[in-house]
Structure 1
Amino acid sequence: MFRLALRTLRPRKGGFLATFVAAFLGAVIVSACGGLMETGIRADAPPQRLAAAPIVVAGQQEIELPKRDPADDDPKTESVLLPERVRLDPALADRIRATPGVAAVVGDVTVPVVTPGGPAAGHGWNSAVLTPYSLIAGHAPGPGEVVVAGLPAQPGEMIRLAAHGTTGWYRVAGIAGATQPEVFFTEADAGRLAGGQVDDFGVFTTESPETVVARLNLGPGVVALTGDDRGRAEFPQAEAAGEDLVVLAAVSGGLSVLVALFVVASTLALATQQRRRELALLRAIGTTPRQLRRMVLGEAVTIGLLAMAAAVALGPMLGRRLFGRLTNAGVVPEVVRFHQGWLPMTVAAGVTVLAVLVAALVAARRVSRIRPTEALAEASVERRWLTPVRFVLAALCFGGGTALGIVTLAVMTGPVAASTAGPAVLLWAIGVAAISPGVTKLVAALLHGPVRVFGGVTGWLAVANTRATATRVSGAVTPIVLAVGIATGNIYLQTTQQAVSQHSFTEDLRADAVVAAPAGASPELLRRVQQAPGVAAASEYTTSTVFVTVPFDDSQDDDGHPALGLTTESAARTTSATVTTGSLGALTGDTVALPDTVAAELRRGVGDPVTLRLGDGHEVTVRVVALVAQRAGFEALLFPAGLLAAHTTARLAPQVLVRAAPGVDRARLAASLTAATAGEPVTVGDREALLAAHAAGDEIGAWVNYLMLGMIIGYTVISVVNTLVMATARRRREFGLQRLGGFTRTQVLRMAGVEGGVIATIGILLGTVVSAGAIVPFCLVATGSPLPIGPAAVYLTVIAIAAVLALGASVVPAWVATRARPVTAVALDE
């Protein structure tokens, strides 16, 4: 049967190519997502500035959080990444130095520096050996001196630098060879600017690094890294970006697999449906149902293997291109290297063959029920469409979609509701597609009157064809349902999320101006802003993430809780959080103001203690001084700015929020703040600058989703054209008979156009229903309205593209199919 399968593919090039294209594109996309996932898992960022040190000792950027209540008999923990750099005690150098095989230990720090030429990274000159850097002019720095690299300065010049909230003049002692802007202070100055802590230690050895690492006694929370793993100390953000990339690739890859499975199944089913008379003839001459199944499976395996082989080269190319787009957008650090080994390709190959096999099994099961007498039938039409498999699949998908909708409405709050609303799109799409022959007949019957009025005889015939061949037509409708449903649902989920996030941020922001301090907002800068004319209140503003450890927080995931750091005396006037109990005036020292929803989950009130891990992993027990009401889904814990900022990577608040006094307009306020901060490396912006910065952050995340979504939608769009071309091109004999019966070629083309319009209409209607199954529950939770927030042009563009593709893919193949004389077309073997 396998040899017969190979022979049957040659005269059936149309169906073969259509299934091949669907399987090939699916394999390419799954392979590309696999490459992105492998890259995220590896998070490979080789060391650059620390490359000369065989061993790098750094703080562990992961902590273990309880996943179950520690009081349970079977407590479990999970590892979570810390968002801020974990720093080390300089005294650890002595312990490392005492280890046999250690030749030298060099402490390393990095501090943000603002120079006349822009931002730069500041280090101690003692750490230059870790790269190593070498002087190309001048000498090593002394007290009050610096060595610069990548800056327009010469030895002997005085340069004004700002770092860690301080500003001072330094003499340029030398120039180092480096391409990136960097400033090297004396070891003492660098240590002072770094707050007396060390980012990491570079360790030079007299023995193999592995041998020395085995001897090191570093204690908890400290790791020794060798090889490319040393880059994790230099670029701690790479690991977090890798986790995000894994999630993105997993979601996109999973969606791609399901779409590919469905598209391949739809295409293969349509190709098999067009051969019913041929297969019935084989049954009539003695071929058993088992042999027919083997033949169909053989054809499918052949197509799958060929598609897999063709996708081997293009999958990594697409993956690398997508990765390049992500790095250019700043989603993934440029230091992370793209990896795609044999495993993603193996998975993509397995998924491709499996998808084709599953589709073939479904088609083969239907083939085995073909009766030999169907070979004598004039029309190769499948009469029975509601099979047990279709019924069970539709029931499961509709049940799953309904369950996700109920969970979204009853359990979820805020933007997190998209995590259950999003998958519902695909469930509803699969459910609708499973019963699409019946729905196609129903919608076609409803369209019969309008189409007959506007389309005349050709319209009537188009609708009659659609109703008579509903199973075949549904194969063309399904990709349109997927394209319209996935595109409309996911795009409007994203636009609504963005709008809700921006609205929440706008509501919470009561500042009229912001002073941005890239080198950190010092107490002196805050004092000058507070004393500026026209200022009613000014507060430091810093953000981070915290993790609750005691009491056990069942609602906490590995993203922790958002945290805001504010100045005590101005907290109530620069945030819109409504205090329900307690006072923000008591927000000093080790204290916290909890959102009332979080307080209810933790069963904590004013005066109760809560133990937290701050952004750098430091554990602190704070006292609850206030409960605040915030917008659901956007809650944040409020801390004193000094407590929260000290445990961030910058260690100082990067911004100061300013509230204008009554009667002071924004222009006057901006002028007053500019005068008050003259000479400081800060910028003064209005409220709109903060809103624009927040919107820009949301747009990056949206752009990533659109990028991956666009790839999947592009696949479904190609499948739409692919399926419709195959369905129409196989109707040469039918078109020839119509022309022999009196139809002109123009009337046949008009009928094909009307059929394309009917297919587009059915697909758009069903796709809209599918998208509504996800959009409505989410919007009810997020906005209280069933309608999404976003431009109507999005939906109009989606349905316009669907309509144009359906019409074009119906009329063009019909035009090609009717070029031959009617008698010749009828004589051709169907």
Structure 2
Amino acid sequence: MLKIRRMAGALVAVVVGIALVVLALLLLLAGRPIVPDRLAAAAVVVQAPGSRSPAEAFPPTVPWSAARTEELRRELTALPGVEAAIADRSFYVQALVDGRPPAVAGQRQDTSEGHGWSSARLGGLSLVAGAEPRGPGEVVVDRALGFRPGDPVTLLTATGPVRYTVTGLVDAPGYLVADEVAAELAPGVRAIGLVLGADADPSAVAAAARGIVGTGGRVLSGDERGALEPRDDARARWIGMQALTGVATLAGFVTVFVVASTFAFTVAQRRRELGLLRAVGATPRQVRRMVYGEALLVGVVGAVLGIVVGAAAAPIVARILVGGGFEPATYEVRYGPLPFLVALALGPMVALLGAWSAARRAARVRPLEALREAAVEQRSMGRTRWVVGGLLLALGTVLAIGTATADDAQDGATLALYSAMALITGMVALAPAAVRPIVRLLRLPFRRGGGAIGLLVREGATTAARRTASTAAPVLLTVAFAVLVAGMVRTSTAAYAAGRAAGVDAGHVLVPDRTPGMSDAAVAAVPGAAMLPSTVFAAENGSGPGLRAWSVLGVDTAAFARADRGARVVAGSLGDLGGGDTAVVTESVRRGVGDAYPVVFADGERVSLRVVAVVADRSVRADLLLSRETVRRHDPSALTSAIYLPGGGDAVPGAPAGTGARVIDVATWAAEADSSEDRLVWLFTLMLIGVSAGYGAIAVANTLLMAAQGRGADLRVMRLAGATRRQVAGYVAAESALVVLIGAVLGGVVAFGALVSIRAGLSQQVGAAVELVVPWSVVGGVVGLCLLLALLAGVLPTRRMLRERAIRMPS
């Protein structure tokens, strides 16, 4: 029974760890792209060719021009088995309800997209009321918006509000207009869907379509059509995968950590038992085999139970991920054998790995240990432990600095996770050396307030420094990880907001209001200030086949040349920018003044631009500058992201009513600029903290329960020496509180040291002073949880043991 109690903590740790791994694997496998609903009825889809973009994880496809689209459509329609080849055109549009776009949770991309009526056939859509749109000014909308056929509706487009009449309703988000209207609003096409006859073979049709398209596109069928999912969904799915990978990695690390600490503590408590085994003839190999056998049993049982728990929790967590924005609405869990096979192998492996160090220590127990009555440690720290601990702390510090200088937020989060692992492991290795100094710092309050109890607590902790450090290790893990990760995220968020605000010479900012961007009507109040972003595609010198996506800003050429926009001119003159065939490029484009530069615009048209100036990289917020008229002509759906407004108070122009825009101050804009991604990262952080805190709770309770069960003889001596039950319980409570305090101090040292390094790196990165944000609520919550669990795990078993021995110990 005692052995089962000793292994209970390790078993729970393995169960939770394997459950998290199974859960993460099931969710990761479910994270494959899904065919968008609006293209589900097209058995074969021809997608425009892809592009390359070092700064974009999901680069856009290169659109076909209207002429090329019509040519492909005719050829594809003629294929055997094809009933129709439909060009799917997408453009920005939103309905205005009471002067504003309706609020949509998560601002889904399909709620602000319009398509031609023929695209309804690609998704199998049919009218639930009314009739199809037949000309300009007519639209079919989602029934959920509350309109009825015949109602007038104001639609916000890239140029501004336009009056339409609702002719019909469907049960799907988005807007459907006449095909000729869609061709004007979205001349470039990125997908052509093929509707097949009942007897057609999709594989044969796809093969024939590839012969027509060649290298000018991709032919997708079956599950391959998942590549057509919206880029917003793809990015949300990718962020979710990063979060799940981090949780699985942390689960494996902390499981090994908890199992190792459990077995190490168990071996320390069983030294006399192990010494007795050695005295009766057991060899070191047999002792190791015994410990490994116990670990293997824990691993197998824990793996089976973990599989059951993880599989049952997967659908519930999937719904939470969708609600939190980590996954798109199409996310669905699918069960397969791979996660379960991995878990069955991983459970025993993790348990054996955690017990490795404890087994080696158990094999070194000498037969004379059976005769020892005192548990005085001969040496708390060895040379190897010093070296390993120091190296891990150095590695963790380097990784902590790397989190601040990483170019990508997710890369920074990954480095932060590895940094936390290295720093925590290093501090755990060096913890025995820190026990005595910390206890000495606390000596005065313990001596004054505790009397004999304080003396016993202090001397017991310093005499058995390794045991004290092992008991405090779970607290160290929980506090250090929670404070480090939460502080890193909060400090980084504040730093990037400060950097954005410092780089803007304005008092207020005009920003979108429930829209993905602002229309021309919204920015008309600030003539010359609005920059219209878009994307062009062009070859990159010496970078292989295919076109690269380049970011473009359409500017008011006269106003831009007059104003000081911070553009550092390397060659040429900004004053020469004008007309539809001139461009200003950055140095990374690698084009000189006077060079011809052919590009493909968003409408699929290829135009040769003439370079009139070269500016330094990062001195403008794009790769190319063109005239605003040129960008609008080739990209009818382009939207302005923000406009900086000088001055303040009454001098600030208000946002035009009914245009989907609002005016906010710079500080608010800087905080909201990446609010969606910041929210996802913070949710990711809370998931990691929840995992680490949950494991910490298990480890704290398990370690102190084992400690209390092994202290029966000590407590009996205290009672025989005259201590009352209350004094004994107070001694255990004080010892538990001291352990939590030691763990919290060591964890805080690890976390705050790393946070200082992160702040220094962030200050250099954003070019502004960065304030260290300490998550005091997280610190208080985690330390309070550990203290509560420690007191319960220490005092409750003690009170039970005292009641059981009441007859043998006089009052």
TM-score (norm 2): 0.84
Q: How many residues align?
A: 772
Q: Tell me the CA shift for residue 80 of structure 1.
A: 7.0
**What does residue 50 of structure 1 align with?**
39
Residue identity opposite 1:50 in structure 2? L
User: Counterpart amino acid of 1:20?
Assistant: L
Match of 1:277 in 2: 272
**1:788-815: CA deviation from partner (whole Å, max 9, x where unpaired):** 2345454444444444443443333333
Output the CA distance in 1 between the equivalents of 2:740 and 2:522. 63
Among candidates 684, 706, 727, match of residue 662 of structure 2? 684
Q: Deviations over 1:111-139 (max 9, x none)?
A: 33222444654222222222322334444
Secondary structure, counterpart of 1:686 in structure 2: strand
Structure 1 equivalent of residue 758 of structure 2: 778
| Corresponding residue number in structure 2 for 1:5 | none
Structure 1 residue 465 and structure 2 residue 460: aligned?
yes
In structure 2, which of residues 369, 374, 379 is the aligned counterpart of residue 379 of structure 1? Answer: 374
Contact 1:520 1:654 in 2 (8 A): yes
Tell me which residue corresponds to 1:704.
683
* Equivalent AA in structure 1 for residue 345 of structure 2: G
Q: How far apart are 1:14 and its partner, in Å?
A: 1.8
Partner of 2:451: 456
Task: Normalising by structure 1, report the TM-score.
Answer: 0.82
Correspondence for 1:239: 234
Unpaired runs of 5+ residues, structure 2, are 103-110
Tell me the equivalent position of 1:505: 500
CA separation in 2, counterparts of 1:180 and 1:513?
A: 34
Kindly provide the amino acid, as one letter, of the partner of residue 663 in structure 2.
Answer: G
Matching residue of 2:207: 214
Contact 2:477–2:696 (Cα < 8 Å) also in 1: no
More moved, 307-316 vs 579-588: 579-588
Give the counterpart of 2:4 among 7, 13, 18.
13
Structure 2: how far apart are the matches of 1:723 and 1:798? 17
Match of 1:763 among 740, 743, 756: 743
Take 1:607 and 1:799, find their aligned partners in 2: how far apart are those partners?
Answer: 66
Q: Is the 8 A contact 1:413 1:782 kept in 2?
A: no
Q: Which residue among 4, 19, 23 is the counterpart of 1:28?
A: 19
CA distance in 1, matches of 2:601, 2:787: 53
Determine if contact 1:546/1:612 at 8 Å carries over to the other structure: yes
Deviations 1:644-681 (A, max 9, x none): 96799983124451534x6xx4445444x53xxx5x54
TM superposition shift of 1:192: 1.4
Query: How much identity, in percent, do the aligned residues show?
Result: 28
Q: What residue identity is the alignment partner of 2:116?
A: G
Does residue 1:161 correspond to 2:155, yes or no? Answer: yes
Q: CA deviation at 1:143?
A: 2.1
Contact 2:160 2:522 in 1 (8 A): no
Q: SS state of the match for residue 39, structure 2?
A: coil
Cα distance in 2 for partners of 1:546, 1:781 equals: 35
- Look up the SS of the partner of 2:803 in the other structure: coil
Q: Structure 1 pair 445/162, CA: closer, same or farther in 2 (3 Å)?
A: closer
Larger deviation: 686-695 or 452-461? 686-695
Secondary structure of 2:615's aligned partner: strand
* Structure 1 pair 606–823 and aligned structure 2 pair: CA distance change class (3 A): farther
Match for residue 721 of structure 1 among 701, 705, 710: 701
Q: Distance in 1 between matches of 2:775 and 2:537?
A: 36
C-alpha deviations, 1:206-255, integer Å up to 9, x for none?
Answer: 52101211222222252222224324325344333333333222233222
Moved more, 784-793 or 602-611: 602-611
Label 1:53 to 1:560 Cα distance change in 2 as closer, same or farther (>3 A).
Answer: closer
Mapped to 1, the partners of 2:537 and 2:444 lie a distance apart of 63
Q: In structure 1, what is the Cα distance between the partners aligned to 2:149 and 2:342? A: 57
d(CA) in 2 for partners of 1:507, 1:736: 66
**Aligned partners of 2:287 and 2:363 also within 8 Å:** yes
Q: 1:487 to 1:135 in 2, by over 3 A?
A: closer
Written as runs of structure 1 = structure 2, the 5 A alignment for 1:326-475 is: 326-380=321-375, 382-387=377-382, 390-391=385-386, 393-404=388-399, 420=415, 422-475=417-470
**Aligned runs of 1:97-246 on 2, under 5 Å?**
97-117=77-97, 118=102, 121-144=113-136, 145-150=138-143, 151-165=145-159, 167-173=161-167, 175-176=168-169, 178-205=170-197, 206-216=199-209, 217=211, 218-220=213-215, 222-246=217-241
CA shift in 2, pair 1:18/1:562, >3 Å? farther
Aligned counterpart, 1:538: 529
Distance in structure 2 (CA, Å) of the matches to 1:248 and 1:113: 32
Match of 1:814 in 2: 798
After TM superposition, the structure 1 stretch with the greater mean CA deviation from structure 2, 560-569 or 163-172, is: 560-569
**Kindly tell me: are residues 420 and 543 of structure 1, through their superposed partners in 2, closer, same or farther at Cα, counting changes over 3 Å?**
farther
Q: Which AA in structure 2 matches 1:704?
A: L
Alignment correspondent of 2:105: none
Mapped to 2, the partners of 1:573 and 1:423 lie a distance apart of: 49
Report the CA distance shift for 1:649/1:430 in structure 2 as closer, same or farther (over 3 A). farther
**Equivalent position SS for 2:638:** coil
Q: Which deviates more from structure 2 when the two are superposed, residues 724-733 or residues 256-265?
A: 724-733
Superposed CA deviations along residues 527-584 of structure 1, whole A, max 9, x for unmatched, are x4246xxxxx52135487999944669xxxxx99987665445558999746475676
Larger CA deviation: 80-89 vs 640-649: 640-649
C-alpha deviation, 1:366, in angstroms: 0.9
Matched, 1:87 2:87: no
Structure 1 unaligned segments of length 5 or more: list them. Answer: 1-9, 66-78, 532-536, 554-558
Alpha-carbon displacement from aligned partner over 1:472-517 (angstroms, at most 9, x marks no partner): 2222111111111111111111011110111122223345341638
- Residue of structure 1 in register with 2:512 after alignment: 516
Q: Does the Cα contact within 8 Å between 2:87 and 2:189 map onto a contact in 1? A: no
CA distance in 2, matches of 1:143, 1:362: 77
Give matches, 1:656-675, under 5 Å.
Answer: 657=643, 659-660=645-646, 665-667=648-650, 669-671=652-654, 673-674=655-656
One-letter amino acid matched to 1:87:
P
- Code of the aligned partner of 1:514: L
Is residue 552–residue 602 contact of structure 1 (8 Å, CA) maintained in 2?
A: no
CA distance in 2, matches of 1:644, 1:28: 56
Distance 1:348 1:577 in 2: 56
Q: Residues 723, 262 of structure 1: CA spacing in aligned structure 2 closer, same or farther, 3 A cutoff? A: same
Determine the structure 2 residue equivalent to 1:744: 724
Deviates more, 1:640-649 or 1:426-435: 640-649
Q: For the structure 1 residues 762 and 171, does the alpha-carbon distance in structure 2 shift closer, same or farther, using more than 3 Å as the test?
A: closer
SS at match of 2:37: coil
Aligned to 1:37: 28
CA distance in 1, matches of 2:458, 2:718: 15
Partner Cα distance (1:234, 1:648) in 2: 24
Over 3 Å counting, the alpha-carbon distance change for 1:286 and 1:136 in structure 2 is closer
One-letter code of the match for 2:340?
M
The residue identity in structure 2 corresponding to 1:754 is A
Task: Kindly state the Cα deviation for residue 741 of structure 1 after the two structures are TM-superposed.
Answer: 1.8
Amino acid at match of 2:700: V
1:463–1:635: structure 2 CA closer, same or farther, 3 Å change rule? Answer: farther
Q: CA deviation at 1:48?
A: 1.7
Structure 1 residues 441, 637: closer, same or farther in 2, change over 3 A?
Answer: farther
Q: How many Å apart are 1:608 and its aligned residue?
A: 8.9
Supply the distance in 2 between the matched residues of 1:460 and 1:102 (Cα, whole angstroms): 89
* Residue pair 2:85, 2:192 contacting (<8 A) in 1 also: no
Structure 2 Cα separation of the partners of residues 377 and 546 of structure 1: 79
Change (3 A) 1:397 1:576: farther
Measure the CA separation in 1 of the matches of 2:28 and 2:634. Answer: 29
Indicate conservation of the 8 Å contact 1:641/1:653, yes or no.
Answer: no
* 1:359-389 CA distance string (max 9 Å, x none): 2221111111111121121134553444566
**How far apart, CA to CA, are the structure 1 residues paired with 2:562 and 2:708?**
67
Matching residue's letter, 2:355: A
Amino acid at match of 1:215: A
Q: What is the CA–CA distance in structure 2 between the aligned matches of 1:29 and 1:471, rounded to whole Å?
A: 31
Q: Is the 8 A contact 1:164 1:194 kept in 2?
A: no
The answer to whether the 8 Å contact 1:163/1:519 transfers is no
Contact 1:293 1:365 in 2 (8 A): yes
